[in-house]
Amino acid sequence: MMKKIGVIGCGNMFRVLVEAAKSGKLRGEIVCAYDYQRERCEELGIPYMTVEKMLSTVDIVVEAASIQAVKEYGEIVLSAGKDFVVMSVGALLDDDLRKNLMKISRRTRARIIVPSGAIGGIDAIKALPEDAKIKIVTTKPSRTLGVDVKERKVIFSGSAREAVEKFPKSMNVAALLSLASGKIVDVEVIADPNAKRNTHRIICEGSFGRMEITVENEPSPYNPRTSYLACLSLIRVLNDLCEENTIILGV
């Protein structure tokens, strides 16, 4: 039986998901969606439904809205025993929120699933030893970062937590690295008025050796702040959940 999916947030990722479902690239069925602007759900032919009502209908809930949406709905989704796919992973850097959601997850056996998003190598990042140091250098078109610069410029340098606070819609990759590694991740953000892609360069060093991963992402067709790879990552995760694969690779 095809699994039923509900989506919180009817923006960029929602549009990509609906297109994937219509083309047969998404294995599950998007049966409902919720957004503060009801018409954003319905204009793509997906029934609008409050999150509370959604929980009696779906098997999987996707958060594709904001950090605030994770804080507002994470507890009730997991309490209802529904798997919760989180795209705004920056929310999970809130220690109290993360611990509470994990507690509920253990009780209900509903899972909190975080796709790899706009980067790769998360399996290796999770395996790094205690002495490893991690840095990510993110370069984005300056307009998507909301800054006006005439040339390539470093506009932020600090920790992943600080980066998420300053750029809550642009630094989910830094939050994911921090959670996957369990370490403080150094972050540098570069605004480039001439950049065409979102680029993430991850540098790891320690007793294991040295690893460098560079990903140059095309922006999503509906929101240049989001990398298209993040949308594809979400589709892949949902397909794995819907197909209940018995061979799990790269975890």
DSSP 48: B
Q: CA distances (Å), 202 to each of 152, 215, 226, in order?
A: 19, 9, 18
Q: Which of 21, 58, 200, 220 is catalytic?
A: 200
Supply 91's token pair. 């929310």
Alpha helices in the chain (DSSP H): 12-22, 38-42, 51-54, 67-79, 95-108, 122-126, 160-166, 172-181, 228-243
How far, in Å, CA of 118 to CA of 175, rounded?
12
Q: Is 208 a catalytic site residue?
A: no
Identify the three-state secondary structure at position 15. helix
How far, in Å, CA of 149 to CA of 114, rounded?
33
Q: CA distances (Å), 140 to each of 144, 171, 175, 184, in order?
A: 7, 11, 17, 22
Active site residues: 200
